[in-house]
Structures are given as structure tokens and as C-alpha cells.
């Protein structure tokens, strides 16, 4: 009589091994994506595709039908994760398909132009998940149906080679180890040269998968992977795909700015990050990183025509079209802290730049110092001239304009926008007076423009007209973009500059942070070249207007010779996202098999196990969110240290779950006011929100050691209850809380 033995379906073993190998190879993306938000969606995608394949084979479906089901499953997963307009949260209707297409198109731009490591934006997450899903499907067919696990290594090598060739440094060593382990398990799943039967003894399978041969293969593969990774890095493209050059960007639609660099990723962080320390700057001036000259009504402002320029390590020529080099001389020492980008920011008109390392170029036409080699920014010294013409000198600026006609291009400018520019400047006798009139139009409170980190909702297809005539609300991108278009409409060459305001003083240094990121306008005047204008109505003291513009916009006030020494107040950073939570890998689902060596295993235990594993993965974000909520509520109730800050973070997470993520630059009081208005909190909720802000400010600014308010738990519950009454969460937001997954970034 044959002894009963526990059997396992070897096709399921091969399926699991294929999915594991794909995920281990995907670990290489950790070297080019700056954060881990992509990991959970990637795991969910690969496991989902593998599970659909296993179910299709379990029910004896044909290969073509199983593959089609896997593709449909992949589409459902991508829709649920990355589309707001999905039917019932998961079904891909026409709107959701269009939204997913837009995400993938944006991801293509980010891949072509980004400098790794880049933030794992939703568009990049969608692209990674789509690619891994397709690879998981192909590997599943090769390993399970064709029974050729070694061949699947070619697909895995492609997955690994993409980030390896993009990174300028070697990928983290553990990614090579993970890839080697996954490939070794995949080879072992072939069952010792296909000697496995359809249902095999579990002990024999375990011995094959985790025996000495597999360990030896894993070790050898690890060494080969390390050497291959070093080779790919050495012959890579210095952080860019072939054909990509620094002047190519991507960004927002409409009148927004198009540049995408690692700078943009740094500016989108959830907390204030110090970028530069500057010594020696006496005259307030903007720190310019790049200028954009092309305006596309559908895409926004883009950098076009950047030349190879001249070596930035020698004395630099005057900018193109500039013959008057008079101004305030400065010698400035700039130390990058948290800044890494192919654009080297400079003040005013650079005369010489030293210390930044090799391979930096200067384009006199664009006024940009840049590199095509991805390298760390080093401390550098700039000798510059800060132009200081008088209004009278700019009014009398005459003569030819030896600059490219592209700076006057008005293609696509709506007629009503051009008419507005002419009406605003009808009484201005000179180009300088026209530029001042346009600048004043945005900064004069009587005209209704206001600075806001969110733009007004669009009402039509023309974003520029929406902003100028209806919304009148936005941040520096919208203001600089709009004024530059208006300048061209009245015949004044213009471009948009991107960089930083001068920051705040810290002893004998200036500190420039992500809060100082800014965009402004540069208009051209014969002889004097490009001069700064700033239409953004900032009220926080960060504006650094040149003397001629300050005197024209504020004729009754005397321009101080220097910015006051006191630093502008910076609000304590709002709570950033909670560090990425560890996701359980899940356990292999085992099922009892019928006794007897020849008996077939029942499909239902495996099916149920796969479903349970899938449901567990789906429930993980909600479980993590609930555990975090309970931990915080307990800490607040117990009066633990920092209880007010803990309560505030819980409120911010509740709002983020509802799609609202306040900017880190806003104070707690300003954030609270915005949330009360946005959600329409009732009287009790408004009262509780204001009491919470008082408790938070007391904890931040009062001397340490003070006990939290005794009524803090009731205050927190009052805010949360009011939020739930005013804006109850839908099912999708409960299952996939944004505060845990962080799949989407709020508008900045």
C-alpha cells in the first residue's frame, strides 16, 4: 500500500517563483526613484497578474483566454490605483482610460528628461506598474506554460538593465542580491530539469527550491549581477535616456512652466528643505537657475534653443544683446546643501564662476550655467554684476535688438489676451512704462489678483484666459507666465526665469530653502539686456525687486539700501507624510491535498488561498491607517509628549484621505482656516479646529515642559467628527487611504 504524502501543485510553485523573480528584479528601481511609494502598487500589480493566471489555469482555460484575463486584470488594477474617474472605483470607463493615458504620457516625459533619483510621482508609478505587469504576464507564460524558467531570465535582465543604465552611481548592493535570489528560485522551480510531476511531494519541492544547488546558483548569480550592474553603470547615459538633453522638460498644462528636473522634485517635498547657504551677497537679487523662452498655449513655457555655450570655468562674456555692463559688483560664495540639479543657479550677470567642478557650460543667450553630466553640486564662487539702471535710463533705451526673434513670438496668444495687453499699456509712452504698467496690473489689489497655492478651477480650454479674466488666483508660475505673454503682445521681448528669492539671513549668511522657489519675468531693453520684473503679489517679504521697479511701483516709499536683517517668519513645517509603512509580504497559502500519490489536488483550497491573500493585500492600507489612528488617539488621550502635534498630524491625514494636502509653506492657522472653508465645517467643528490650532501653536512656541491641554482629546474628536459629517469618505478612500499609500501629490 502506497503511503500517503502531502502533495503540492507544481504549476502554482512556478507561478509564485515567477512573480517573486519579477519583484526581486524590480527592486533595481530603488536606485532611480527617490522614495518607496511605488513599491506597494508594484507588488499588488505583479501578484494580481500572477493570481489571475493561476486561476485561469486552475479552471483549465486556454492560454489565449488566460492571457486576456491577465491583461484585463492588469487594466483593472491600474485603474483602481491611478484613476479618479473609474466606474465604481475600479472599472475602466472612457474617462478613466483617458486619464490613464494622460498619466502614461506624462510619465514618458518624466523618464526622458528627469535626472535620477526622481520622486516616485503617480505618473511614474503607473508606468512602472504597467511595465512590471506586462513582464509578469510574459514571465508567467514562459515559466509555467512553456516550462522554460531560464529563458525568463532575459526578461528579468531587461527589467534590471533599465534602472542600471539610468543611474550614474551603482545601484544599491541589496538590489543585486534580491535579483540573484529571485532568479535562483525561478531556476529551481523548473523541478530539476522538468522531472517534477504536476502534483509533487512538498518535501521534495522544498528541498529543490531551498537546497544547496539553489544556494550555489544564487551566490553565483549575485556575483555576476554585481559585475553586470557595475558595467551598466559605467557605460550608462549619466542619468538620462539616450537622446535626452537638459533643455527638454515636462510639466503642467496650460500656462504653467514645463521644466522637470530633480529641482522640481525637491520643491515638491512635504517639508522645508535647506538648499543653499550664501555668503557675501550685499544687494538683494534673485538666484536664477534657468530661463524659458518658448510659449505653447497648450503646454506652457518651455526652454528651447539652449546651445552648447562656452566653458563656464573661464571669464564669461556679457549676455547676448547686452552692451552695458554697469552695476553693483558682487563676490558671492554659494554652498549647495540639499540641491542637486544640472542647472547651476547664479545671481545677476555672471562674470566668472569657479569651484563647481568640470563640464559646466554657460549659454550667454539664455543666461544659464548648466551641465550635461549628472554630478554632485559643489560649493562655488560667483563674481557677478547686479544691474542697477535707473527708470530714466530704461525709458531712453533705444536701438536694435540683437536677440533671436523667438523672444517676441506670440503664436497662439488668444485675441482677448492681446487686446488686454494693449488696453493696459495704451497710455504708456515707452516700452519700460508698458512693462511697469503690466507689472502693476497684477500687484495692485484693486484688480482682484491674489496669491494662492491652488489655481482657480478651469472653466474652458484656454488656461491663460481663465487665469487673466476669471480665476485671478494662482502662484508664481501663473503670474510670471501671464505677464511674459502680455509683454510680447505689446512688442517687448520677454522670457520666464526660474530660481529662488534671496532667502533669509542667518548671521553673516543667507539661507535659501525650498520655500524660496520662485518664477519671475525678464524683459529685454537694448543695451541693458534682460531686466527683472515680478508680477507675483507676494506679501511675505520674500520679493527682491530691482531698484528701478521698486521706485516705479512704490513711488511714495524710499527703497532701503539693504534687506532688513531679520529673517522672514517661517512657519513650523506641517506634518509630512508618515514614513513608508512596512508591508507584510504575506504567507504562502497552503492547502490540504487528498491522500494518495496519484490523486489530483482540489482547486478550491488554492483558489480560496489566493483570494484570501489578495484580500489581505487589499486590506493592508486600511489596516495600517486604522492602527495609526488608534495609536495617535491613545497618545492624545494619555497626554503624551507632543500630543498636540500628534493630534494635528491625525487631522492632516484625515484631510489627505479626502484628497486635500496642505502645502508645507502654510502655517497651521492658515491651513486650519482653509480646511474650515473647504469642507464647510459646522459650528462645533470650527470651534474645535481653532482650539486645536491654539494648542498646536502653544506646543510649538511655548517653553518646553508644559503639559498638554486637558481638553485636547475632546477637541480632536470634535474636529474629526465634524470632518466626517461634512465630507464622509467613500469606499475607495477607506480601502486605499492616501495618507498611507501617498499615490497622488497635491497641487503645489
What pLDDT, in 10s, does the model give residues 633-674?
999 998 888 888 899 999 999 998 888 888 777 888 888 898
- Nearest CA among 367, 359, 368, 375 for reference residue 313: 359
CA dihedral 708, 709, 712, 715 (to 10 degrees): -150
Cell (9 digits) for 322: 547686452
* Phi, psi dihedral angles at 349 (to 5 degrees): -100, 110
Q: Is the pLDDT of residue 473 over 80?
A: yes
Cell (9 digits) for 218: 544564487
* Phi, psi dihedral angles at 620 (to 5 degrees): -55, -50
- The answer to whether residues 723 and 655 touch, using CB atoms and an 8 Å cutoff, is yes
Q: Which residues contact 312 (CB under 8 A, 6 or more apart)?
A: 344, 353, 356, 360, 361, 362, 369
Say how far apart CA 654 and CA 650 lie, in whole Å. 6
Say how far apart CA 94 and CA 147 lie, in whole Å. 38
Residue linked to cell 511605488: 38
* Per-residue pLDDT, 222: 58
Q: Which residues contact 234 (CB under 8 A, 6 or more apart)?
A: none
Say how far apart CA 462 and CA 446 lie, in whole Å. 24
Q: Is the pLDDT of residue 123 over 50?
A: yes
* Per-residue pLDDT, 736: 77
Q: Is the pLDDT of residue 164 over 80?
A: no
- The answer to whether residues 501 and 281 touch, using CB atoms and an 8 Å cutoff, is no
Say how far apart CA 693 and CA 637 lie, in whole Å. 17
DSSP conformational letter for 683: H
* Per-residue pLDDT, 566: 39
- Nearest CA among 334, 518, 545, 355 for reference residue 435: 545
Across residues 692-702, what is the average pLDDT? 86
Residue linked to cell 499615490: 743
Say how far apart CA 370 and CA 372 lie, in whole Å. 7
Q: Is 571 helix (H, G, I), strand (E, B) or coil?
A: coil
Q: Where are the beta strands (DSSP E) in 373-459?
A: 380-387, 450-451
Least confident span in 191-200, 234-243, 599-608? 234-243
CA atoms within 13 A on the CB side of 88: 4
Say how far apart CA 340 and CA 355 lie, in whole Å. 15
High-pLDDT (> 70) share of the chain, %: 73
Q: Is 642 helix (H, G, I), strand (E, B) or coil?
A: coil
In the chain, % helix, strand, coil (3-state, to 5) comes to 45, 15, 40
CA distances from 629 to 245, 270, 646, 654, 663 (A): 46, 20, 10, 9, 22
Say how far apart CA 603 and CA 592 lie, in whole Å. 11
Pairing state between β 300-302 and 361-363: unpaired
* Phi, psi dihedral angles at 193 (to 5 degrees): 60, 45
DSSP conformational letter for 485: H
Say how far apart CA 519 and CA 286 lie, in whole Å. 10
- The answer to whether residues 229 and 171 touch, using CB atoms and an 8 Å cutoff, is yes
CA distances from 606 to 73, 558, 589, 617, 713 (A): 19, 80, 7, 16, 46
Q: Give me the count of residues in the chain.
A: 748
As beta bridge partners, residue 525 has 529
- The answer to whether residues 54 and 606 touch, using CB atoms and an 8 Å cutoff, is yes
DSSP structure string for 189-246: TTHHHHT--SEEEHHHHHHHHHSHHHHHHHHHHHHHHHHHHHHHHHTS-TTS-TT--T
* Per-residue pLDDT, 564: 38
The pTM assigned to this predicted structure is 0.47
Q: Is the pLDDT of residue 129 over 60?
A: yes
* Per-residue pLDDT, 399: 86
**Strand order across the beta sheet in which 310-311 lies:** 310-311, 361-363, 368-370
Q: Is the pLDDT of residue 69 over 70?
A: yes
Q: Is the pLDDT of residue 533 over 80?
A: yes
* Per-residue pLDDT, 529: 94
What is the band of 746 on the pLDDT scale with cuts at 50, 70, 90?
A: very low
What is the band of 245 on the pLDDT scale with cuts at 50, 70, 90?
A: very low
Cell (9 digits) for 187: 531556476
> What would the pLDDT profile of 102-121 be if each residue is shown by its tens digit?
888 878 766 655 556 677 88
What is the band of 5 on the pLDDT scale with cuts at 50, 70, 90?
A: low
Cell (9 digits) for 234: 559605467
Cis peptide before 260 (omega within 30 of 0): no
In this predicted model, which residue has the larger pLDDT, 400 or 194? 400
> What would the pLDDT profile of 175-184 be if each residue is shown by its tens digit?
777 877 777 7
Q: What is the distance, to the nearest Å, from the Cα of residue 151 to the centroid of all Cα atoms in its chain?
A: 36
Cell (9 digits) for 495: 522670457
Across residues 442-469, what is the average pLDDT? 75
Span between the terminal Cα atoms of the chain, in Å: 73
- The answer to whether residues 572 and 697 touch, using CB atoms and an 8 Å cutoff, is no
Mean pLDDT of the chain: 77
* Per-residue pLDDT, 380: 95
Across residues 80-98, what is the average pLDDT? 83
- The answer to whether residues 534 and 545 touch, using CB atoms and an 8 Å cutoff, is yes
Q: Which residues contact 170 (CB under 8 A, 6 or more apart)?
A: 229, 230, 233
| Domains of the chain as residue ranges with CATH | 7-241 (no CATH), 621-741 (1.20.120)
Amino acid at each position: 500500500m502506497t503511503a500517503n504524502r502531502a502533495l503540492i501543485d507544481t504549476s502554482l510553485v512556478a507561478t509564485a517563483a515567477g512573480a517573486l523573480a519579477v519583484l526581486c528584479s524590480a527592486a533595481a528601481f530603488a536606485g532611480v526613484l527617490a522614495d518607496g511609494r511605488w513599491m506597494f502598487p508594484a507588488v499588488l500589480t505583479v501578484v494580481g497578474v500572477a493570481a489571475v493566471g493561476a486561476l485561469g489555469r486552475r479552471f483549465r482555460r486556454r492560454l489565449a483566454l488566460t492571457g486576456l484575463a491577465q491583461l484585463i486584470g492588469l487594466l483593472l488594477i491600474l485603474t483602481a490605483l491611478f484613476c479618479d474617474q473609474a466606474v465604481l472605483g475600479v472599472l475602466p470607463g472612457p474617462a478613466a482610460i483617458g486619464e490613464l493615458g494622460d498619466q502614461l504620457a506624462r510619465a514618458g516625459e518624466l523618464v526622458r528628461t528627469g535626472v535620477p533619483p526622481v520622486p516616485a510621482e503617480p505618473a511614474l508609478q503607473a508606468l512602472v506598474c504597467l511595465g512590471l505587469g506586462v513582464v509578469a504576464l510574459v514571465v508567467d507564460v514562459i515559466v509555467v506554460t512553456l516550462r522554460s524558467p531560464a529563458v525568463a531570465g532575459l526578461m528579468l535582465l531587461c527589467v534590471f538593465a533599465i534602472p542600471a543604465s539610468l543611474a550614474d552611481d551603482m545601484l544599491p548592493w541589496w538590489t543585486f542580491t534580491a535579483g540573484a535570489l529571485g532568479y535562483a528560485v525561478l531556476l529551481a522551480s523548473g523541478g530539476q530539469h522538468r522531472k517534477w510531476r504536476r502534483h509533487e511531494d512538498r518535501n521534495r519541492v522544498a528541498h529543490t527550491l531551498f537546497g544547496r544547488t539553489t544556494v550555489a546558483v544564487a551566490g553565483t548569480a549575485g556575483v555576476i549581477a554585481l559585475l553586470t550592474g557595475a558595467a551598466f553603470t559605467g557605460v550608462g547615459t549619466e542619468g538620462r535616456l539616450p537622446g535626452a538633453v537638459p533643455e527638454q522638460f515636462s510639466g503642467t498644462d496650460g500656462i504653467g512652466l514645463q521644466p522637470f528636473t530633480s529641482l522640481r522634485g525637491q520643491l515638491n517635498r512635504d517639508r522645508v528643505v535647506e538648499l543653499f547657504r550664501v555668503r557675501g551677497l550685499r544687494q538683494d537679487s534673485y538666484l536664477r537657475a534657468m530661463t524659458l523662452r518658448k510659449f505653447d498655449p497648450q503646454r506652457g513655457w518651455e526652454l528651447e534653443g539652449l546651445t552648447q555655450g562656452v566653458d563656464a570655468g573661464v571669464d564669461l562674456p556679457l549676455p547676448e544683446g547686452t552692451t552695458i555692463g554697469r552695476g553693483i559688483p558682487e563676490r558671492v560664495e554659494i554652498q549647495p546643501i540639499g540641491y542637486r540639479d544640472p542647472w547651476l543657479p547664479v545671481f545677476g550677470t555672471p562674470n566668472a564662476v569657479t569651484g563647481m567642478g568640470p563640464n559646466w557650460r554657460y549659454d550667454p543667450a539664455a543666461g544659464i550655467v548648466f551641465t550635461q553630466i549628472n554630478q554632485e553640486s559643489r560649493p562655488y564662487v560667483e563674481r557677478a554684476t547686479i544691474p542697477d539702471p535707473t527708470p530714466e535710463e530704461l525709458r531712453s533705451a533705444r536701438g536694435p535688438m540683437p536677440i533671436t526673434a523667438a523672444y517676441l513670438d506670440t503664436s497662439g496668444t488668444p485675441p482677448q489676451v492681446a487686446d488686454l495687453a494693449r488696453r493696459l499699456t495704451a497710455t504708456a509712452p515707452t516700452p519700460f512704462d508698458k512693462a511697469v504698467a503690466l507689472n502693476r496690473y497684477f500687484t495692485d489689489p484693486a484688480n482682484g489678483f491674489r496669491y494662492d497655492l491652488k489655481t482657480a478651477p478651469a472653466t474652458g480650454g484656454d488656461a491663460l484666459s481663465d487665469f487673466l479674466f476669471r480665476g485671478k488666483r494662482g502662484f508664481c508660475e501663473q503670474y510670471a507666465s501671464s505677464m511674459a505673454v502680455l509683454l510680447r503682445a505689446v512688442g517687448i521681448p520677454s522670457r520666464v526665469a526660474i530660481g529662488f528669492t534671496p532667502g533669509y539671513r542667518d548671521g553673516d549668511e543667507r539661507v535659501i530653502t525650498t520655500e524660496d522657489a520662485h518664477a519671475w519675468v525678464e524683459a529685454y531693453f537694448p543695451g541693458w539686456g534682460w531686466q527683472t520684473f515680478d508680477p507675483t503679489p507676494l506679501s511675505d517679504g520674500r520679493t527682491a525687486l530691482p531698484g528701478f521697479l521698486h521706485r516705479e511701483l512704490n513711488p511714495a516709499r524710499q527703497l532701503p539700501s539693504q534687506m532688513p536683517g531679520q529673517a522672514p517668519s517661517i512657519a513650523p513645517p506641517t506634518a509630512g507624510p508618515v514614513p513608508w509603512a512596512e508591508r507584510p509580504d504575506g504567507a504562502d497559502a497552503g492547502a490540504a491535498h487528498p491522500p494518495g500519490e496519484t490523486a489530483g489536488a482540489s482547486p478550491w483550497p488554492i483558489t480560496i488561498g489566493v483570494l484570501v491573500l489578495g484580500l489581505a493585500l487589499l486590506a493592508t492600507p486600511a489596516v495600517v491607517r486604522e492602527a495609526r489612528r488608534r495609536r495617535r488617539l491613545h497618545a492624545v488621550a494619555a497626554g503624551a509628549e507632543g500630543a498636540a502635534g500628534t493630534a494635528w498630524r491625525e487631522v492632516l491625514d484625515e484631510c489627505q484621505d479626502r484628497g486635500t494636502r496642505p502645502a508645507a509653506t502654510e502655517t497651521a492657522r492658515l491651513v486650519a482656516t482653509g480646511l474650515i472653508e473647504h469642507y464647510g465645517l459646522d459650528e462645533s467643528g470650527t470651534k474645535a479646529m481653532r482650539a486645536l490650532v491654539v494648542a498646536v501653536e502653544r506646543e510649538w512656541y511655548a517653553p518646553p515642559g508644559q503639559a498638554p491641554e486637558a481638553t485636547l482629546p475632546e477637541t480632536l474628536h470634535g474636529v474629526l467628527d465634524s470632518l466626517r459629517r461634512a465630507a464622509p469618505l467613500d469606499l475607495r478612500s477607506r480601502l486605499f487611504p492616501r495618507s498611507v499609500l501617498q499615490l497622488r501629490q497635491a497641487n503645489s
